[in-house]
Structure 1
Amino acid sequence: MKIRLIPTLLILIVVAVTVRLGFWQRDRAHQKEALHAHITQFGNAPAQTIGAARIALKDIEFHRVRAVGQFMPQQVVYLDNRPYNDQPGFYVVMPFKLRDGGYVLVNRGWLPRNMNERTAIEPYDTPKGEIEVEGIARADASRAYELGKGGSAAHQTIRQNLDVASYATETGLPLQPFVIQQISDDGDKLVRDWPAPTTGVERNYGYMFQWWGMAVAAIVFGLYAARRSAKNAKLTQGKGREGGPGNGQAPHA
């Protein structure tokens, strides 16, 4: 069977690329599985105390932490479009002044929206004086889809998202580069039934099988095309022999 060079090379390239992409998705899935294991491990470990010393996000994210200090309700931010059990509401994010100096943002919990007036804030309590807060260190207070800057403009109480570094610049507070997702209860009437962190590992495995399926399809198509080409070539050769000299007919003068 005669192999045609260019089609064969194209098929080999497709197979090589799709197989490599499948392995890449598999590696991403393994990385996310390792991250999920770390999240579980960190969440069950003893809480680390947060003080004035700055802690890099990479060294604290997903760890259980505790902080002693007091809330700053005058600089609260409400993150909009945060539903809970299909009910619209806000996340209440508030700066927390640490006893030893420095500040950290705390996502205190979920608050239902006033259904009669969209921007009205339902009542909730804020502990006065020094308290202890315990929670999980997160990169942000959750992110929602936002067109342009949306509600993140400076000096707005209700926003769509809140970037820690931008808020630190806006307020002048030397914030830690993470947010504490509060899990301790201080009787404030806020809901802290936090969604579990999702890694999307199933999606990576799905992509892996899709890429490898494309590789198999390319191989099958290549074999089919090669066989069909060989069959056509054989038929052409057979017809040539039937119509040429030596087939029992005298050649024309």
Structure 2
Amino acid sequence: MRDYRFLVTPQWLGWFALAVLFAIMCAFLGHWQLDRRAETVAAIDTIETNYDRAPVPFAQAAGQFRQFDTAREWTPVQMTGRYLPEQTRVVRNRPLNGQPGFEVLVPFRTSAGPIVVIDRGWLQLGSNGDSAAVPAPPAGTVDVVARLKHPEAAVDRGAPAGQLASIDLTVYAAQIDGQLGTPLATGAYAALDDEKPAPATSPVAFSKPSLDEGPHLSYAMQWFAFGLLGFVGLGYAARQQAWLNRNGGLDDDEDIPVHLRSGALKKRPRRRTRRTAEDEEDALLDAAGWR
């Protein structure tokens, strides 16, 4: 452990603190991804439970349009009544398959009395940057099957006359207040599935929501792995620093790794020079004492 005493220096303590902060950040992001996955899985469970069930009569679902239970989302509701097309609104910024467009909202006066909002589908953006001609809903008495949806929150942007920035039913109700004779239900709206009689033209129908939970779980595992890698990297750096501290001077052969104790670091033998004839003659003269 003596080789690792440098770990208690301010510099290395600072690196350790950074690794801890990085791990905390990665753990936070990992748990955030797990929370998002939990929300997605819960939404998928709701779709699988409610989407394909038999339609319930409006009398059983009327309370949902006043105060919505999210566990009932996507439940199909059977209702009979009349569309009120003069109060139609289109909702802005609704791309579909990469194409810009709108969604079409129409109030629907049920035979039971309450007025609810029906989202009749998607409409492609017109060439002039506005909504294309909105297909009229069926006139007269209509049988509708539509799925319960939670209204959207208000957004911080406006919309031109006849449009909504989001499916905020409170804003919608305020725009048509007093024009329908009956208050608009603002607890929920319904996405159209079927209507009879069917009109000659209608907006693009909604498809079943995706049941793919997405990459949240794999992203969470990646963030947790990144947090651990910070300590792995710090440990590797400390090991390298300890080796450098131990082998920083190469004078002592014991400090040189075995694989480096040959070749360039091995002491070279003295270079021998060839004796010339003059060298030999001088040596004989010296031996005889003549020099």
TM-score for the superposition, normalised by structure 2: 0.66
| 2:50 matched residue in structure 1 | 42
1:116-127 equivalences in 2 (<5 Å): 117-119=128-130, 121-122=132-133, 124-127=135-138
- Identical positions, percent: 22
Alpha carbons of structure 1 residues 119 and 12: separation in structure 2 relative to 1, 3 Å: closer
Residue type at the aligned position of 2:123: L
| 2:184 matched residue in structure 1 | 174
**Is the counterpart of residue 217 in structure 1 residue 229 in structure 2?**
yes
Residue type at the aligned position of 1:168: A
8 A contact 1:111–1:191 mirrored in 2 = yes
Residue type at the aligned position of 1:34: A
| 2:143 matched residue in structure 1 | 132
SS in 2 for 1:97: strand
Alpha carbons of structure 1 residues 150 and 62: separation in structure 2 relative to 1, 3 Å: same
CA deviation vs aligned residue, 1:192-228 (integer Å, no higher than 9, x gap): 4324435773242343133123123202211112112
Deviation (angstroms), 1:93:
0.6
- Partners of 1:141 and 1:94 in 2: CA distance: 16
1:185-224 equivalences in 2 (<5 Å): 185-186=195-196, 187-188=198-199, 189-198=201-210, 201-224=213-236
Deviation (angstroms), 1:106:
0.5
CA deviation vs aligned residue, 1:66-115 (integer Å, no higher than 9, x gap): 22221111110022444555655432211111222222111112334543
**Is the counterpart of residue 18 in structure 1 residue 18 in structure 2?**
no
| 1:226 matched residue in structure 2 | 238
Alpha carbons of structure 1 residues 62 and 197: separation in structure 2 relative to 1, 3 Å: same
Residue type at the aligned position of 2:91: L
8 A contact 1:107–1:141 mirrored in 2 = no
8 A contact 1:50–1:67 mirrored in 2 = yes
- Partners of 1:8 and 1:88 in 2: CA distance: 50
- Partners of 1:25 and 1:85 in 2: CA distance: 26
Alpha carbons of structure 1 residues 21 and 92: separation in structure 2 relative to 1, 3 Å: closer
Alpha carbons of structure 1 residues 18 and 88: separation in structure 2 relative to 1, 3 Å: closer
8 A contact 2:153–2:168 mirrored in 1 = no
Residue type at the aligned position of 1:233: N
1:148-159 equivalences in 2 (<5 Å): 148-151=156-159, 156-159=161-164
- Partners of 2:186 and 2:233 in 1: CA distance: 56
**Is the counterpart of residue 93 in structure 1 residue 105 in structure 2?**
yes
SS in 2 for 1:207: helix
Alpha carbons of structure 1 residues 111 and 17: separation in structure 2 relative to 1, 3 Å: closer
8 A contact 1:112–1:122 mirrored in 2 = no
Aligned residues: 235
Gaps of 5+ in 2: 178-182, 255-291
SS in 2 for 1:134: strand
TM-score for the superposition, normalised by structure 1: 0.75
- Partners of 2:190 and 2:46 in 1: CA distance: 18
Residue type at the aligned position of 1:94: V
SS in 1 for 2:22: helix
- Partners of 1:118 and 1:181 in 2: CA distance: 25
| Structure number, greater radius of gyration | 2
SS in 2 for 1:202: coil
Gaps of 5+ in 1: 243-253
